[in-house]
Structure 1
């Protein structure tokens, strides 16, 4: 079973799954369906670095209401 982490990335819900040593990113829609995201996460990024990595690449989407990437429990 792949390990999976979920985040609120400045208002967008994402799931990041590690499968066979590679990270795969998904966007999660309002209805709960997910589709493959159009960005890659390097394999060398550790699970505890995912939120910071997402913050770094999407920082331009930050707002006063959503200033950081937040981990979501499933």
Structure 2
């Protein structure tokens, strides 16, 4: 699942070995975003809310974390 973080950058979140793996997504590649660790028990449908909680300091008024369709 890919998410737009307030229009500033994108992250790609994947389930790997029963854990969430987070990557910084840029055109043509993705690199591990090791500073971001999502607890394994966070359900997929709550990832946008969880990412919003983590990255809220980057938000402007009315900005949202939004899923990017595949």
TM-score scaled by structure 2?
Answer: 0.89
Structure 1 segments unaligned to the other structure (5+ residues): none
Runs of 4+ in structure 1 displaced over 2 angstroms?
none
Q: Which runs of 5+ in 2 are unaligned?
A: none
| Aligned: 1:59 with 2:50 | no
- What does residue range 1-74 of structure 1 map to in structure 2 within 5 Å? 5-10=1-6, 11-29=8-26, 31-37=27-33, 38-64=35-61, 67-74=63-70
What is the TM-score with the length of structure 1 in the denominator? 0.84
Q: How many residues align?
A: 68
CA-atom RMSD, angstroms? 1.2
Instruction: Show CA shifts across 1:5-53 (max 9, x none).
Output: 1100122111000012100000012x33100002100001000000000
